[in-house]
Structure 1
Amino acid sequence: MSRPVPIFIGYDPRERVATNVLIDSLYQHSSLPLAITPIVAEQLGEQHRRARDPKQSTAFSFTRFLVPHLMGYEGWAIFMDCDMLCRTDIAALWALRDDRFAVQCVQHDHVPTETAKFLGEVQSAYPKKNWSSLMLLNCARCTALTPAYVETASGLELHRFHWLAGDHEIGALPTAWNHLVAVQAGPEAGEGSEQTGPNLLHWTLGGPWFRQDRAMGGPLAAEWFGARDDAMALWD
């Protein structure tokens, strides 16, 4: 039997419902056993003592970089933000692991024009924006990400991967694995394969679980509500 795929999800108490719907969507589509761990900052104790940064928009802005430490710097793991929805088998992403790289991610060229995003949080613009929101991590090659480093490094140093020897250590993933809803064009609801649409939707500007963002993404918002209803369904 295959060992469970380790998946770590960034957790923010304001987005609990998003986390739960994402977890259900992962399980419902997966052909492999999964070991899913929401990273709750308050549960990390001495491993994460960093004070909240004024530019930090979520509780997991920095905790994501503790995944290699939590894995004992062994094997591979997936990190993803909680504001996502999986539409296909995560095994297809897991199969893309490439030992030539320390990290693999979708390499967006996203330069936000807005100054605020969900709940009025500040929208920061910087190179490699959103790259760290979905990562395949080759943990043995991420030993620079010690708790001490994650506690003291700047946000830009972390999110721009300055802890690597260079960009040659970052592998590119297909864009279907991190589609920025209401930032990138399309797709229509129901288009969920590598050929016809994104595999993983990402509501980076704010998702339909927030009252003011209920229509974010148009038909994709309705798709998220459908996934929520499926996750809540009671079976006789």
Structure 2
Amino acid sequence: MANSYFQFKQFRIEQDRCAMKMGTDAVLLGALAHLDKTKMILDIGTGTGVIALMLAQRFPEARVHGVEIEAQAFVQATQNFRDSPWRDRLEIDHAAFQDYALTRDRKYDLIVSNPPFFSGQLKSPDTQKSWARHDDQLSQKDLLLGVDQLLTEEGLFWLILPVREMRLFKTLAKQSGFVLQQEYLIRDRAGVDPRRQICSFGKGNRCPKPSGEIILKEASGGFHIDYRNLLKDFLLDF
């Protein structure tokens, strides 16, 4: 029987209550999202809390808040936060992000999200999985509206999406006044089509930063050296 938890170097993720378990997308975003001298971080749809915990480890001066709509995931993330070394800097709210954005007067300089991305497709009969996978509960438009409310003028919003969905998101973000800052293509192996994309967006006139790509595995099947270096502070095997 598989473990109900995932052990990192400095913290553990319990995930038996969560329909969607921790995956590569989350740890990539948690390792890549950044902003110099960040003080206030928000993780939208925190799930198990893994991204929030990675950011708490990386930014020791920052306070990290999570917001989660699904009840069991909220309970799980709350416990994971309490059991971590950074419990005093972590906070979580049980709410829809749309409501959270309308009722908070605080601002964040770094916002991250690994959002739902299946739109208009056959849903799982499991309500938890349906909420985690489909964007009915949080559309791209609602996500951008909320981020616009909560992001500081100098802040950055980072997210990960499949390449096709990211193409649509970039268009909506531009229409909403956001500027693309940086992007990474995620490839399983060198030479294959990218399966995911991580992008950051900011407000106002900004100069884009160099883009890049992350290759997960070597042709031999082992983990790529760049992927290992990215996650060496987190994963036990690295």
TM-score, normalising length: structure 1: 0.33
**Higher relative contact order (Cα pairs below 8 Å, separated by 6+ residues):** 1
Between structures 1 and 2, the one with greater strand share:
2
TM-score (norm 2): 0.33
